Amino acid sequence: MTVIYVDADACPVKDEAERVATRHALRLCIVSNGGLRPSANPLVETVIVDAGPDVADMWIADRAGTGDIVITGDIPLAAKCVANGARVLKHNGEALTQANIGNVLATRDLMADLRAADPFRQGGGKGFTKTDRSRFLEALDREIRAAQKNR
C-alpha cells in the first residue's frame, strides 16, 4: 500500500497532504525533529526523530520505496528517495524524478557555491503562493493515482 512521507520541518503543505491522504485512505507519516502537534486522524502517524542534522531525512530515506510518495524541499533527500523508487514532490508540486534529479542537484550545489563565494549576497527563495498550493494539491492527486497504478 502506498505511504506518503512528509519531511515536515518547514513544510507549508502538511494540512493539504493530510487532506488528500485522507480522501484516498492512505497512511501519512509526518516526520520531524519535534515541535509539531499530532493529528487526531487515525491515518496520520507523527514521527518525532532525534535532534541532529538529517536525522528525519535518513528516517524517510530508509523507508520510502517503490509505490511511496515523499514530500520534501530537501534535494539530497529527494535524490535518495528517487533512487529507492519513490515518487517525490516539492512543496510547489514540482515532481523530482530520475530524469531531472541530477540537474536539480547540480543547480543546488552551484547555488551553494555562489552563496559561499559571496557572503554579502542577499535574497531568499520566492514566497509560497496560492498557485503553488493549488499546483501541489493537483500534483499529489496525480502522483497517488500513478503510485497506486504502478504498485
pLDDT of residue 101: 77
CA 96-139-7 angle, 5° bins = 60
Q: Class of the 3-150 domain?
A: alpha beta
Number of H helices, E strands in the chain: 5, 6
44-102 per-position pLDDT tens digit: 999 999 988 889 999 999 999 999 999 999 999 999 999 999 999 999 999 999 888 77
Domain boundary assignment for the chain: 3-150
pLDDT of residue 113: 65
Q: Give CA–CA dist 138/49, Å, rounded.
A: 29
